[in-house]
Amino acid sequence: MGQGEKATRPLTWRIVVTPTAVRLIKAIADKRLREKISDVIDRLANEPDKQGKPLTGELTGFRSIRAVGQRYRIIYAVRKDEIVVVIVAAGIRKEGHRGDIYALARKLIRLRLLEP
């Protein structure tokens, strides 16, 4: 590095896991799956807005990232003003099934238990 240059360190975001997300993760019986989900959550501390994909419809304002292959998803919100990533839900993706993680997140929003 030349004189006057500063090393720029990537910004680390604080991760907040909601009580609902904690319950959903603890409900996953397989410890290895829980650990893999936890690893993905930890990775969100670096550039969370460049990971996952933005959600639409009722879930606008949230992002989703895959964890453990194609089956599990982590739903989170990036709060840029606070430099915080809020993990709101995690679980299995079963399109059309009432246990689908996106269906659960939409229900939590309707009940006003989740806000982006």
53, 63 contact by CB (below 8 A) = yes
Record: fold of 14-110 = YaeB-like fold (3.30.2310)
User: Going residue by residue through the chain (116 aa), what tens digit of pLDDT does each one get?
Assistant: 455 555 555 679 999 999 999 999 999 999 999 999 999 999 999 999 999 999 999 999 999 999 987 789 999 999 998 889 999 999 998 887 777 999 989 888 888 776 65
User: Model-level pTM?
Assistant: 0.84
Q: Domain-by-domain residue ranges, the chain?
A: 14-110
Tokens of 28: 């996953």
50, 59 contact by CB (below 8 A) = no
Q: Residues of 57-71 as b/e, b for ≥16 C-beta within 10 angstroms?
A: eebeebbbbebbeee
